[in-house]
């Protein structure tokens, strides 16, 4: 599908607001003829005029190709390799575009999935959890690229899954806690279909990875406004 493109004059992101080391990594990838984008929460926060806590990068280069470009880097991960590029105490995470797993057969467990197949920027956008976290910033053209309707949801202050919320919550129940975290952190609302899916499938949290669940709960309850998050989790039934 054709993405929605925001030209430089249509968005507030400036390179002055992006960490210089992040730009160094992006421009080296681009100079080596790979695609390189700023992605995820960093783009979301810059679009909202917020200072990102960190920046994530996505590229067409495969992990070993990224590793070969940066001597100050190392490969991490087992199932899906990522590259951390180090600048002193700072590390910048670089991931290769990847796509979602194939749909499971009817009656199969949607949590048993494999999403470690390399993909295109479009496929990578549709793999992400919420529309506001699936925006790409292109440092060559200074454009914001939106495949999934994230920009309208930013303006409407809505948390919405990329794709069918019933499927997305069942394949990774920890997303329910993430939805609460983003809603309370950003003072957004969870859109009705996403909200209904959380209520309907909250019991699936019992199947989630305990370390991931604990980490996400701590992240949700460790910032200003955590009391609202707690009440929202109770309201949605996820605390059970």
Choose the catalytic residue: 17, 33, 45, 54: 54
Query: According to the model, what pLDDT value does residue 116 have?
Result: 60
Kindly state the DSSP code that residue 161 receives in the 8-state scheme. B
Q: Is the pLDDT of residue 36 over 70?
A: yes
Pairing of strands 56-59, 90-96: parallel
Parallel, antiparallel or unpaired: strands 135-138 and 143-146: antiparallel
Residue 220 to residue 43: CA distance in whole angstroms: 20
pLDDT single digits (tens) 106-117: 455 555 455 568
pLDDT exceeds cutoff 90 at 57: yes
Around 218, how many Cα atoms within 13 Å sit in the side-chain half-sphere? 6
pLDDT of residue 112: 44
pLDDT attached to residue 214: 93
Mean pLDDT computed over every residue of the chain: 91
Q: Does residue 102 surpass a pLDDT of 90?
A: no
Phi (first) and psi of residue 137, to 5 degrees: -115, 125
Q: Above 90 in pLDDT, residue 163?
A: yes
pLDDT-wise least confident of 13-17, 80-84, 113-117 = 113-117
Selected catalytic residue, list 45, 56, 172, 204: 56
Q: Catalytic one among 45, 124, 129, 153?
A: 129
The confidence score (pLDDT) of residue 104 equals 44
* CB-CB contact of 122 with 159 (8 Å): no
Q: b/e string for 191-221 if b means 16 or more Cβ within 10 A? A: beebbebbeebbebbeebeeeebeebbeebb
Query: Nearest-CA neighbor of 96 among 74, 78, 116?
Result: 116
Q: What distance in Å separates the CA atoms of residue 162 and residue 120, rounded to the nearest whole number?
A: 16
The answer to whether 54 is a known catalytic residue is yes
Mean pLDDT of 17-34: 96
Q: How far is CA 189 from the centre of its chain?
A: 18
DSSP strand pairing (189-190 vs 82-87): unpaired
Structure tokens at 186: 């950003």
For the chain, give the percent of residues with pLDDT over 90: 83
CA-based R_g, the chain, Å = 18
138 catalytic, yes or no? no
């Amino acid at each position: 599908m054709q993405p929605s493109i925001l030209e430089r004059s249509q968005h507030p992101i400036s390179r002055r607001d992006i960490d210089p080391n992040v730009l160094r990594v992006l421009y080296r990838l681009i100079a080596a003829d790979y695609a390189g984008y700023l992605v995820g929460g960093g783009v979301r926060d810059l679009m909202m005029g917020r200072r990102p806590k960190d920046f994530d990068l996505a590229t067409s280069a495969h992990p070993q190709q990224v590793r070969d470009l940066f001597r100050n880097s190392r490969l991490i991960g087992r199932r899906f390799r990522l590259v951390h590029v180090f600048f002193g105490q700072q590390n910048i995470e670089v991931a290769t575009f990847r796509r979602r797993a194939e749909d499971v057969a009817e009656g199969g467990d949607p949590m048993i999935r494999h999403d470690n197949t390399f993909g295109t920027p479009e496929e990578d956008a549709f793999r992400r959890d919420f529309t506001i976290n699936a925006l790409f910033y292109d440092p060559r053209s200074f454009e914001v690229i939106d495949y999934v309707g994230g920009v309208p949801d930013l303006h409407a202050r809505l948390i919405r899954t990329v794709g069918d919320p019933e499927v997305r919550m069942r394949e990774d129940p920890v997303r329910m806690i993430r939805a609460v975290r983003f809603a309370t952190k950003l003072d957004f609302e969870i859109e009705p279909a996403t909200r209904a899916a959380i209520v309907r499938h909250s019991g699936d949290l019992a199947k989630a990875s305990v370390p991931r669940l604990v980490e996400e709960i701590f992240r949700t309850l460790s910032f200003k406004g955590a009391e609202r998050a707690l009440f929202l989790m109770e309201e949605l039934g996820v605390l059970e």
